[in-house]
């Protein structure tokens, strides 16, 4: 083994000691799970974290695969302001794709690495107690008029019941949770996976929430790779929003991460889900790869 590899092990050791027995919540985007080689590589990184005593809970969505299946089956999709309207037919497809195909693909990749993973949806054990999202008034940018939009079978998280997840994590299982939830009547809803991941991280008192994303962190200018922010505090994020250095879709993401840190999760990370070793590098090296979000 050459010197540089041994140095990497030395650098990793304090982090391994620090995080042993702690809980990480890792969120997969649809893109991450789409490519088989990429998923296999990620499963290997998760297996390593699991092997050194870190408790892992995975949350996943799968919007991209849902769109593709809908197209194949001729189910028309409506997306408003980046949010999908989930009609009854789309909900049926979401159940198949989220709780079926993607969940099983992730389990199979983890199984290959000898990990005891358990596939769940937010409906299992009432993990995600949801409520139907009320119709929202949204400005139609094309017509300039405000319209009332019913998002259909889209839910908002009412509360998270982490009892089942805690039982599994304490017994050395790795739960893989798809982004569905249900209400008291048993109505199932499609729910934003980022939101579920953040709420579960708070309930599990997680050390870290890691968002595996299509982008490798937060950029001040999305067009310019040199503007990536490596480390961000709550105060800095508030200033970014106030001075309009953060705009568009970055604002709700920053706001939800700020709420997360204020609720006791130690750090949040946005890293690339398709870059080999990005997760290991973020957890076990001083430099990391993406954007690390901390309280202060």
Q: Is there a domain that residue 257 lies in?
A: no
Total domains in the chain come to 1
Mean pLDDT lowest for which of 14-18, 21-25, 123-127, 284-288? 284-288
Q: Is there a domain that residue 132 lies in?
A: yes
Mean pLDDT, range 164-170, rounded to an integer: 98
213-228 confidence digits (pLDDT tens) = 888 888 887 778 888 8
Q: CATH code at 51?
A: 3.40.1160.10
Q: Is there a domain that residue 133 lies in?
A: yes
Contacts of residue 277, Cβ cutoff 8 Å, sequence gap at least 6: 45
Q: Is there a domain that residue 8 lies in?
A: no
Mean pLDDT, range 123-147, rounded to an integer: 90
Contacts of residue 247, Cβ cutoff 8 Å, sequence gap at least 6: none
Packing angle of the helix pair 103-112, 36-51 (nearest 10 deg): 60
* Token digits of residue 220: 């001040």
Residue 32 is predicted with a pLDDT of 86
Confidence of residue 7 (pLDDT cuts 50, 70, 90): confident
Confidence of residue 163 (pLDDT cuts 50, 70, 90): very high
Share of the chain above pLDDT 70, in %: 99
Three-state secondary structure call for residue 9: helix
Q: Is there a domain that residue 13 lies in?
A: no
Mean pLDDT, range 162-182, rounded to an integer: 98
The whole domain housing 162 covers 22-214+268-279
Mean pLDDT, range 38-60, rounded to an integer: 97
Confidence of residue 270 (pLDDT cuts 50, 70, 90): very high
Residue 1 is predicted with a pLDDT of 60
Q: Indicate if the pLDDT at residue 212 is higher than 80.
A: yes
Q: Indicate if the pLDDT at residue 249 is higher than 80.
A: no
| Dihedral class, residue 110 (left if φ above 0, else alpha if ψ from -120 to 50, else beta) | alpha
Higher pLDDT residue, 222 or 25?
A: 25
Number of Cβ atoms within 10 Å of the Cβ of 182: 21
Mean pLDDT, range 231-257, rounded to an integer: 85
- Beta strand 55-60 with 174-178 is parallel
Share of the chain above pLDDT 90, in %: 72
Residue 214 is predicted with a pLDDT of 84
Residue identified by tokens 């099983």 is 104
Confidence of residue 4 (pLDDT cuts 50, 70, 90): confident
75-93 confidence digits (pLDDT tens) = 999 988 778 999 999 999 9
Q: Indicate if the pLDDT at residue 115 is higher than 90.
A: yes
Residue 250 is predicted with a pLDDT of 75
DSSP state of 215: S
Query: Which pTM was predicted?
Result: 0.93
Q: Is there a domain that residue 219 lies in?
A: no
Q: Is there a domain that residue 229 lies in?
A: no
Q: Is there a domain that residue 134 lies in?
A: yes
């Amino acid at each position: 083994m050459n010197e540089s590899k041994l140095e990497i092990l030395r650098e990793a050791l304090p982090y391994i000691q620090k995080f042993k027995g702690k809980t990480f919540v890792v969120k997969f985007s649809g893109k991450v799970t789409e490519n088989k080689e990429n998923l296999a590589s990620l499963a290997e990184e998760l297996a390593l974290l699991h092997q050194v005593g870190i408790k892992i809970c995975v949350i996943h969505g799968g919007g991209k695969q849902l769109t593709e299946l809908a197209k194949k089956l001729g189910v028309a999709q409506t997306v408003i302001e980046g949010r999908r309207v989930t009609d009854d037919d789309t909900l049926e497809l979401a159940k198949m794709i989220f709780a079926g195909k993607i969940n099983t693909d992730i389990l199979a990749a983890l199984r290959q690495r000898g990990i005891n993973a358990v596939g769940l949806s937010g409906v299992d054990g009432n993990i995600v107690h949801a409520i139907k999202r009320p119709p929202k008034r949204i400005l139609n940018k094309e017509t300039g008029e405000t319209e009332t939009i019913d998002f259909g079978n889209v839910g908002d998280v009412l509360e998270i019941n982490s009892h089942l997840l805690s039982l599994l994590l304490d017994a050395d299982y790795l739960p893989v949770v798809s982004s569905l939830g249900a209400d008291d009547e048993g109505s199932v809803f499609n729910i934003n996976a980022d939101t579920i991941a953040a709420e579960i991280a708070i309930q599990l008192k997680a050390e870290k929430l890691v968002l595996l994303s299509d982008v490798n962190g937060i950029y001040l200018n999305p067009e310019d790779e040199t503007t990536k922010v490596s480390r961000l505090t709550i105060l800095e994020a508030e200033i970014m929003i106030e001075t309009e250095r953060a705009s568009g879709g970055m604002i709700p993401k920053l706001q939800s991460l700020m709420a997360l840190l204020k609720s006791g999760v130690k750090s949040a990370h946005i890293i690339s889900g398709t870059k080999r070793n990005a997760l290991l590098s973020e957890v076990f090296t001083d430099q990391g790869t993406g954007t690390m979000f901390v309280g202060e």
